[in-house]
Structure 1
Amino acid sequence: MKQKVEHQKTNRISQAELLHHVRLSINPKFQDWVLFKNGTYIIFEHVDEVSNLESKALKLIKEFGPVYTERSQDFDVTDLKNTEGWIVSGHGYGMYTYVSPQEIRSKKPDTTTIGLYGREKRDLDGRNPVIIHINRQNF
């Protein structure tokens, strides 16, 4: 059974805000990544092995995005240094979900609250993937 997050979102952030925060959360050495509507993004380290980022990202989000009960609490939460918010990671190498403080009702949320909310966002992206940005290194 999927556990519900006690502190549900209060405000969604705009796509422009989401893109801004995600850009700041990614190490600049990684230039190839794909961002989904609910804040999940996939970083591609070995871009020479990927000719079509969009199709590869869709394949990965469908495989590793949806949250299943046995893996529902398989996550890590990282505080961001270059922007506000957190990154939630879990199974699926290079896949992360951005969580904004605006999306969490609690003023001082704990890592479980942040992590479970991030997993809910990732689940939404995994079950209904909508790409809102593809960042590709210029060759």
Structure 2
Amino acid sequence: MRESELIENVKLAINPKFQDWVLFKNGTYIIFDDISKVKNTNDEAIAIMKEFGPVFAGGPAGDFNTIHLTKTEGWIVAGHGYGMYTFVSPDELENKSPNDLEVGLFGRSKRDLDGKKPEIIYVNKSK
């Protein structure tokens, strides 16, 4: 998926009331409740990603919840880390009718990649 497609899909996936968020290369994003209290958005997002993104066997980062989207095709995988979610597109999966476990495991692996090598590709800020 191209970066521009990922950004557009994530915009459709996020509840419009949340305007402050940061998107990472592999589809994980962090929503900020009040970005005005954050000195440096990028630094804060990377610190959160490094803390909560990587997945370790038996750790809380292994838990997840799969959310089916209605405004775009795909899913959001929620898990350990407040306000941290990962977008999964149907195009990324080999199985064309995956179950929640398959989607969740794939999303968790994407979050792990973002946690180990955090690269911000987009920042959305409210006015």
Tell me which interval the TM-score lies in, with the shorter structure as reference length. Answer: over 0.9
Which one of 58, 74, 77 corresponds to residue 63 of structure 2?
A: 74
Please say if 1:107 is aligned against 2:104. no
Q: How do 1:1-139 residues align onto structure 2 when only pairs under 5 Å count? A: 13-71=1-59, 73-138=62-127
Q: Which moved more, 1:44-53 or 1:29-38?
A: 44-53
Moved over 3 A (4+): none
Letter in 2 for 1:63: E
- When the two chains are superposed, the root-mean-square deviation of aligned CA atoms in Å is 0.9
Query: CA contact under 8 A between 2:56 and 2:62: conserved in structure 1?
Result: no
After TM superposition, the score normalised by the length of structure 1 is 0.88
> Larger C-alpha radius of gyration, 1 or 2?
1
Consecutive unaligned residues of structure 1, counting only runs of 5 or more, are 1-12
Letter in 2 for 1:131: I
Consecutive unaligned residues of structure 2, counting only runs of 5 or more, are none
Q: Which moved more, 1:92-101 or 1:64-73?
A: 64-73
Q: Aligned pair count?
A: 126
How far is 1:46 from its partner?
1.9
Q: Deviations over 1:18-59 (max 9, x none)?
A: 001000001111111000000000000122321321111000
After TM superposition, the score normalised by the length of structure 2 is 0.96
- Distance in structure 2 (CA, Å) of the matches to 1:94 and 1:21: 17
Q: Which moved more, 1:32-41 or 1:49-58?
A: 49-58
